[in-house]
Amino acid sequence: MKSRLINLFLALIVLAACSEQEPPDSSANDAVTGEAAVVETDAITVARNPFFAESPLYMNYPQFDLIQNEHFMPAFERGMAENLEEVEAIASQAAEPSFENTIMELELTGELLDRVATVFFAMASAHTNDEIQELDRQLAPQLAAHQDAILLNRDLFARVDHLYQQKEELNLEPEALRLLEDYHTDFVRAGASLTEAQQQTMRDLNAEIAVLETQFSQNILSEVNDVAVVVDSREELTGLSDARIEAAAQVAISRGLEGRFVLPLLNTSGQPPLANLQNRSLRERIHRTSLSRGSRGGDFDNRQILSDVIRLRAERAQLLGYANHAEYILEQQTAQTVEAVNQRLAELAPPAVANASREAADLQQMIIDDNQDFILASWDWDFYTERLRASRFDFDENQLRPYFEIDNVLQRGVFFAAERLYGITFQERTDLPVYQDDVRVFEVFDADGQTLALFIADFYARPSKRGGAWMNAYISQSGMLGTQPIVANHQNVTKPPEGEPTLLTFDEVTTMFHEFGHALHGMFSNVEYPSFAGTRVPRDFVEYPSQVNEMWATWPEVLENYAVHYQTGEPMPIELLDKVLSTQTFNQGFATTEYLAASIVDQALHQLGPDDVPAAAEIMDFEASALENAGIAMEEVPPRYRATYFNHIMGGYSAGYYSYIWSEVLDADTVEWFKENDGLLRENGDHFRDTLLSRGGSEEAMQLFRNFRGRDAEIEPLLVRRGLN
């Protein structure tokens, strides 16, 4: 039950709530499609529902070629009904509670619900359509109520609590004991110990929050499409590459705007074209449009929804005995306390702002040297940063792209590093169905030649896909269930015109290595219970293995292998390679400041009590005050996400966006370990895999780090990396 319900709903509902894709045309879905999301009544249609039995494909790989929109709701309804029957049978049995008849049985429940939910929420992010979005809205309160029906089941909690109270006498293995303790904690944190009246209040709060979170995210989906910047002439796009201009023309054609150009917005505050566009007024229009999302008035304004969600979360936290939502969330993270997070953010903010201020002064000097009389603004930062990079290091990002052809990066870079470090190998599979033509599937073999996992690679942007990059698992490893992992990585690389190569930016290369770090965490899982599989670890620990994997993107042996010119096959010149490596701390003041600003806003909102939450009209003023009070307010460096389009905090990163920098402390210290131990060696990879990557959530997260590193983490490597020392 924990893996198939608690983790499922906390992870998958979050995935839907955090989606940032543009609302596509309903015809966008190729494999997963249908006329309407309605309950099936035809007996033949029901019998053909591919979710009602395990997939017969290899390793139970999803039947993407058969799945239709109309299959989702019947499978959810049957899955929830079966799940409640399974849980009730456990709760009402006459036998005395035992680990086997209660905890292990709960681990086995919800098989059908798990099967449909993993695919549905994956499609809601990777390949959605109008019907899926409508289903998402319908399912949010239903799944919240379903979770409450289980976690607030008094008879079931009585059995779990009985086992918990006598846990010392049960003589359980360490992983089993941890599972029991986690079950008890999850029930208590869900409200199992509350009175009946309080539990009804909890149900009402959960349902309302679920609806609002989905509405918030779908507003972002709709607005980001609605406010895409339309440009009338090619001349205005001077500075962009021909390929990017052609892509903008193709987007315009797809929207019935032939002869014009459309620049879609990404989920972040900053937008990629700002680095190259010479037209300052167009840069300003793009950036102001980006920053105004969710607070422009009209149908997509998120200020009231955000205010309501923050207040309701605070009410729920206080109902459970916590001062605020942040205190509730952080109790289960490695940080543990509000004070610890506040201290970490506070100690990093001053040096980050100092660095950003020095960077701003350098950029302003460039403006002056150009005989310009304007003051540096946020929409100028990326443009002049690229000019400064070119001046200081004698190269710009566009020089790198011919050496970063996507398949070379994947197979000769990402896969090559994993092969050298862990001994695993990859073979592409073209016989398994995919939900979109450009999605690829690879079988992953362990060092002994046995199948380890299936890996799905989905790299290209499309209107049916949310923004950003992420990993998800269709099937997780479990010794108890005898399952092997099927994991997927997603990015949003702009697809070039037909016949043209896909040439990546350096950021996209790093992202590919990062997401594959998550994939390795899932593929290497070697635990007994599904609750602990793969990336089911605290939110402020989950980014750590993926951040470590980024190091191989610039490791000389790896970089030299994949960074070859897509036309000539010539390796990247050593002088250009040296320049890439020498820029690792370049612009880190900006990058750290924009990230910390978003993290501080997240904490400020979620450390409020219900009565202190600002009204809708005051949300943006509250954000500004929070940044000012933290000493991180810089007009030239807005938060990476402003509150009204901050999808992370609508889901699994609520009061948790600090996790990236928290994890990076572990990551930077781990990179030092690899350097000290000669880097890309099998024995190093095996040690990292055996002590940490394979253990999932089966041990306390920081103990896993100590098992690997031999000591607690030190912050100095992070400060050096980001130029904050």
Residue 441 lies inside a defined structural domain of this protein: yes
Residue 93 lies inside a defined structural domain of this protein: yes
pLDDT at position 46: 55
pLDDT at position 41: 45
Residue 101 lies inside a defined structural domain of this protein: yes
Spatial separation of the C-alpha atoms in residues 204 and 144, rounded to whole Å: 10
Neighbours of 20 (CB within 10 A): 22
Q: Which of 183, 201, 220 is the last residue of a domain?
A: 220
Distances in whole angstroms, Cα of residue 481 to Cα of each of 3, 59, 83, 95, 176: 12, 12, 17, 24, 15
On the question of pLDDT at 33 being above 50, the answer is no
Spatial separation of the C-alpha atoms in residues 191 and 189, rounded to whole Å: 5
Q: What is the pLDDT of residues 424-469, one digit of tens each?
A: 999 999 999 999 999 999 999 999 999 999 999 999 988 888 878 9
148 and 259 inside one domain: no
Structure tokens at 322: 């916590």
Instruction: Return all residues near 634 (Cβ < 8 A) that are at least 6 apart.
Output: 353, 356, 357, 360, 593, 597
The answer to whether the CB of 404 falls within 8 A of the CB of 420 is: no
CA end-to-end distance (rounded Å), the chain: 46
At 579 the three-state DSSP class reads helix
Q: What is the mean pLDDT of residues 85-91?
A: 98
Which of the pair, 507 or 692, is modelled with greater confidence?
692
415 and 488 inside one domain: yes
Spatial separation of the C-alpha atoms in residues 553 and 560, rounded to whole Å: 10
Element (H, E) at 89: helix 69-92
Instruction: Return all residues near 554 (Cβ < 8 A) that are at least 6 apart.
Output: 580, 581, 584
On the question of pLDDT at 4 being above 90, the answer is no
Neighbours of 375 (CB within 10 A): 10
Q: Are strands 440-445 and 229-231 parallel, antiparallel or unpaired?
A: unpaired
186 and 287 inside one domain: no
On the question of pLDDT at 255 being above 60, the answer is yes
145 and 286 inside one domain: no
Residue 179 belongs to what domain range?
2-220
Backbone φ and ψ of 225, nearest 5°: -75, -40
Q: Of 39-53, 321-335, 392-406, which has the strongest mean pLDDT?
A: 321-335
Q: Which residues are bridge partners to 261 per DSSP? A: 231
Spatial separation of the C-alpha atoms in residues 185 and 545, rounded to whole Å: 26
Report the amino acid identity of residue 571.
Answer: P
91 and 113 inside one domain: yes
On the question of pLDDT at 403 being above 70, the answer is yes
* CA proximity to 697, closest of 529, 445, 567, 551: 529
176 and 249 inside one domain: no
For the chain, what percent of residues have pLDDT higher than 70?
A: 94
Instruction: Return all residues near 323 (Cβ < 8 A) that are at least 6 apart.
Output: 317, 609
Q: In the structure, how many helices (H) and strands (E) does the chain have?
A: 29, 7
Mean pLDDT value across the chain: 92
Spatial separation of the C-alpha atoms in residues 297 and 352, rounded to whole Å: 33
Spatial separation of the C-alpha atoms in residues 725 and 635, rounded to whole Å: 24
pLDDT at position 26: 32
Q: Are strands 451-460 and 440-445 parallel, antiparallel or unpaired?
A: antiparallel
Q: Which residues are bridge partners to 487 per DSSP? A: 455, 473
* CA proximity to 452, closest of 490, 415, 425, 480: 425
175 and 132 inside one domain: yes
> In the sheet that 425-429 helps form, which strands lie side by side, from edge to edge?
425-429, 440-445, 451-460, 486-493, 470-475
Element (H, E) at 85: helix 69-92
Spatial separation of the C-alpha atoms in residues 621 and 389, rounded to whole Å: 35
Q: Which residues are bridge partners to 470 per DSSP? A: 490
Backbone φ and ψ of 634, nearest 5°: -135, 115
pTM comes to 0.88
pLDDT band, very low/low/confident/very high, at 659 (cuts 50, 70, 90): very high
Residue 651 lies inside a defined structural domain of this protein: no
16 and 160 inside one domain: yes
Q: What is the mean pLDDT of residues 182-193?
A: 97
pLDDT at position 467: 76
Task: Work out how many domains the chain is built from and give that number.
Answer: 3
On the question of pLDDT at 525 being above 60, the answer is yes
Q: Which of 291, 324, 346 is the last residue of a domain?
A: 291
Distances in whole angstroms, Cα of residue 300 to Cα of each of 202, 221, 494: 28, 9, 26
State the Cα torsion 548-553-559-561 to the nearest 10°: 80
Q: Which residues of 644-663 are buried (b: 16+ CB within 10 A; e: fewer)?
A: bbbbbbbbbbbbbbbbbbbb
Residue 108 lies inside a defined structural domain of this protein: yes
145 and 260 inside one domain: no
Element (H, E) at 231: strand 229-231
On the question of pLDDT at 190 being above 50, the answer is yes
Residue 667 lies inside a defined structural domain of this protein: no
232 and 201 inside one domain: no
The answer to whether the CB of 286 falls within 8 A of the CB of 273 is: yes
Q: Which of 247, 264, 291 is the last residue of a domain?
A: 291
At 487 the three-state DSSP class reads strand
CATH of the domain at 46: 1.10.1370.40
Instruction: List residues with catalytic annotation.
Output: 515
Q: What is the pLDDT of residues 258-313, one digit of tens each?
A: 999 999 898 899 999 999 999 999 999 999 999 999 999 999 999 999 999 999 99
pLDDT band, very low/low/confident/very high, at 20 (cuts 50, 70, 90): very low
Neighbours of 14 (CB within 10 A): 20
Neighbours of 424 (CB within 10 A): 20
pLDDT band, very low/low/confident/very high, at 243 (cuts 50, 70, 90): confident
The answer to whether the CB of 276 falls within 8 A of the CB of 654 is: no
* CA proximity to 103, closest of 561, 528, 572: 528
pLDDT at position 706: 97
pLDDT at position 295: 96
Residue 25 lies inside a defined structural domain of this protein: yes
Neighbours of 507 (CB within 10 A): 10
* CA proximity to 406, closest of 489, 517, 501, 511: 501
pLDDT at position 393: 85
The answer to whether the CB of 58 falls within 8 A of the CB of 432 is: yes
Residue 628 lies inside a defined structural domain of this protein: no
33 and 50 inside one domain: yes
140 and 253 inside one domain: no
Alpha helical stretches, state H, 331-481: 338-369, 381-393, 397-400, 406-407, 415-422
